[in-house]
Amino acid sequence: MMYGSIEAGGTKFVCAVADESLEIIDRVSFPTTTPEETMELVIQFFKGYQDKLEGIGIGSFGPIDIHRNSPTYGFITSTPKLLWQNFDFVGTMKKHFSLPIAWTTDVNAAAYGEYAFGKGKGLSSVVYYTIGTGVGGGAIQEGRFVEGFSHPEMGHMMVVPHKNDSFTGNCPFHGNCLEGMTAGPAIEKRTGKKGQDISPDDELWDMLAYYIAQCAYNTTLMLSPDVIIFGGGVMKQRHMLKKVHQAFEDLMQSYVKTPDLTNYIVTPELEDNAGTIGCLALAKEAKIHL
């Protein structure tokens, strides 16, 4: 028995198959081009395992339609990637594979990976953010994604500008929202450099920590989760987590008694595998709940 995973990102797709214990057996990656070209490669990859596959989990860039009763369930909807607008992702897979298909956002899938096998294991309520090319977030409570009329878009929450930060933000919709201030392109536009080329002493990191701490603060007040996990490139800077903890304490002023910060605001255990592991776990779930 095997499970399949599709991490469908805006710049690349990662497909994998794993055995019953979700050990990865094979994995491929290719750039996101047109739906025709990209899906041809996806289908080709999984055809090689067709006889053994029991389910496929998809974590897709969005926005996507998650409502099972909707006529466009399984579609990528109003994405700025025009070629992929209104693309019937789940339908395309169903045409080629008669299998249970789990369908969620890329960041929800990563959240599920950490919930099932990472820093969220055994906890009731888990929130996961990725701060990279963009900023996204997903939340799970007792095994279910937090959602309603659609999936969340946590990366665009409002943040209060840092007193020394004159950057007006990079988000085409909101300017200085969380993504507009902290994502990779915002760092490059602000400094002319990539994050990895900026000294750990630069005040930029204090500014980013202030914004990320606001995100953790608002998340705490809105969801009171058991853990908040920050993945993505920015948090790979080893000095960041401590700065975020400090900025969070300064904001919270002990108003809410959270779990100890070293266990509450954390980086991912599965690192960059969270998405693939999450898709596989969702594929296994999809089979069970068919």
- Nearest distance, CB of residue 64 and a second copy, angstroms: 12
Which lies closer to a second copy via its Cβ, residue 48 or residue 259?
259
- Nearest distance, CB of residue 147 and a second copy, angstroms: 6
Which lies closer to a second copy via its Cβ, residue 34 or residue 224?
224
Which lies closer to a second copy via its Cβ, residue 90 or residue 127?
127
Site residues (vs a second copy, CB under 8 A): 63, 78, 123-125, 137, 139, 141-142, 144, 146-161, 173-174, 214, 217-226, 251-259, 264
- Nearest distance, CB of residue 254 and a second copy, angstroms: 8
- Nearest distance, CB of residue 137 and a second copy, angstroms: 8
- By residue count, the chain amounts to 290
Which lies closer to a second copy via its Cβ, residue 91 or residue 143?
143
- Nearest distance, CB of residue 101 and a second copy, angstroms: 21
Q: Which residues pair with 7 in a beta bridge?
A: 14, 59
- Nearest distance, CB of residue 157 and a second copy, angstroms: 5
- Burial class, 143, CB count within 10 angstroms (exposed 0-12 / middle 13-18 / buried 19+): exposed
- Nearest distance, CB of residue 227 and a second copy, angstroms: 8
Which lies closer to a second copy via its Cβ, residue 39 or residue 157?
157
Sheet holding 227-231, edge to edge: 144-145, 135-141, 125-131, 227-231, 265-266
Which lies closer to a second copy via its Cβ, residue 98 or residue 253?
253
Report whether 169 contacts 160 (CB < 8 A). Answer: no
Which lies closer to a second copy via its Cβ, residue 122 or residue 192?
122
